[in-house]
Amino acid sequence: MAWVLVCNFCCIFRKIIANTLLPMPHQPIKVGSAFEGWSPLEKDIIYRVFVPLLPPPWHCFKTEPCIARETPARNFQVRVDLECGCITSYSQSKGLCFLHHFRELRKNHVPNILDTLCTNFYLDVNKTAQWFHLLVTSAWKFFPLSSRCCLTMLPSSRSCKFCITGDSKSITIEMMFGVQQHSSDIFVSNESPEGIFMRNTIWSESYAVAEAKFFRELGSQAPHGSFHLECLRVCARILVGTGFSTYTLKTVVMHLLTTIPLKDWRERDFLLRLRDIMQYLRVCLEEKRLYHFFFGNKKVPKGLDLPLDLQEAEAVNLFYYLVGNPDAHAKALREFMQLRYWLTR
């Protein structure tokens, strides 16, 4: 149901945006635990999708790296440049090239990306999120479902999240959006680390699409009855309310899935794999390092398309905040002991 709704929304988006110079939402991509099959929640599930943005005619997106001291994650700005389209079939059919007729097209009030979604030629996350909000509310009017269901836009400055309620049921959907990196499975996106302020023109590198592809391809290779997602779901459910993020656990499991053969993730191996997950996490905590799955990892499956600089990058420690912080380290170890107790009792 959620996926059908998203696809219909994006289809209507494209009709609304036609004949403008605004970004074109591309085919949405399923991401996150709900679509990957390991959501720790039975209720209040959030269905997340990633919507790639394509530049409008006569425009191009250029990602420029920028430094953020608060986190080891890679961040970028998305510069919107103009391109000459005088000899393209599109310009011949429309009559004007945006680069050479910028002022004239502005006078004609043609909605364009620079005026609507940019700050000083850089794509603005907040403005883009607000634009998605407007698209959703505008598109909702065309849904037959709108006559008997209620659309509620949920507050969020950097993303588009909404809830559709009807017949005592509700579906919550979050639309993430961003720009593809070098025709790869890596994007720069509207995501931001929890608790960290990011400027409106800063986009963080997102691995959500690559992660979803990892689990999708693994699922196609795994033997019937594989329990790798069930292991992840059980551990993630226990993590709720602790100081550990589900992303930490997801990273641990992805590392183990490229180390332990898929044939050893069956139901009969369930307890052994849970023990392996806890053991791996314990060692990482003791050593204060858990490496990001995609940075310089030679075990990333060949089917995933990563930018060359990411393949050759130095490993990134997701537990960087434990280094030089004995109080945080001691707290993490205590929480791990509690976590292991809950899992084994």
- Averaged pLDDT for residues 169-195: 91
Task: Give the pairing type, strands 187-189 and 59-66.
Answer: unpaired
For residue 90, is pLDDT > 60?
no
**Model confidence over 268-288: pLDDT tens digits?**
999 999 999 999 999 999 999
**The domain spanning residue 167 has which CATH number?**
3.30.460.90
- In this prediction, residue 81 carries a pLDDT of 93
- In this prediction, residue 328 carries a pLDDT of 94
For residue 36, is pLDDT > 80?
yes
Are both 32 and 53 inside the same structural domain? yes
Are both 297 and 319 inside the same structural domain? yes
Q: Which helix (H) or strand (E) holds 331?
A: helix 326-344
Are both 137 and 243 inside the same structural domain? no
> Which of these three, 182, 206, 230, is where a domain ends?
206
Are both 191 and 172 inside the same structural domain? yes
Are both 220 and 196 inside the same structural domain? no
d(CA 92, CA 201): 33
Q: Report percent pLDDT > 70 for the chain.
A: 90
> Which of these three, 136, 171, 206, is where a domain ends?
206
pLDDT band, residue 69 (cuts 50/70/90): low
> Which of these three, 206, 225, 246, is where a domain ends?
206
- Residue ranges of E strands in the chain: 24-25, 29-31, 46-54, 59-66, 75-82, 118-119, 122-123, 150-154, 160-166, 169-180, 187-189, 203-206
- In this prediction, residue 225 carries a pLDDT of 86
Are both 198 and 230 inside the same structural domain? no
Count the neighbouring beta carbons within 10 Å of the beta carbon of residue 336. Answer: 19
> Considering its fold, how many domains does the chain have in total?
2
**The domain spanning residue 266 has which CATH number?**
1.10.1410.40
Range of the domain at 310: 212-344
Structure tokens at 80: 């919107």
- Averaged pLDDT for residues 189-212: 88
**Model confidence over 212-240: pLDDT tens digits?**
999 999 999 989 889 999 999 998 888 87
∠ CA(299), CA(305), CA(311), 5° rounding? 50
Are both 193 and 312 inside the same structural domain? no
Are both 222 and 88 inside the same structural domain? no
d(CA 51, CA 29): 6
For residue 252, is pLDDT > 50?
yes
Are both 172 and 276 inside the same structural domain? no
For residue 93, is pLDDT > 50?
no
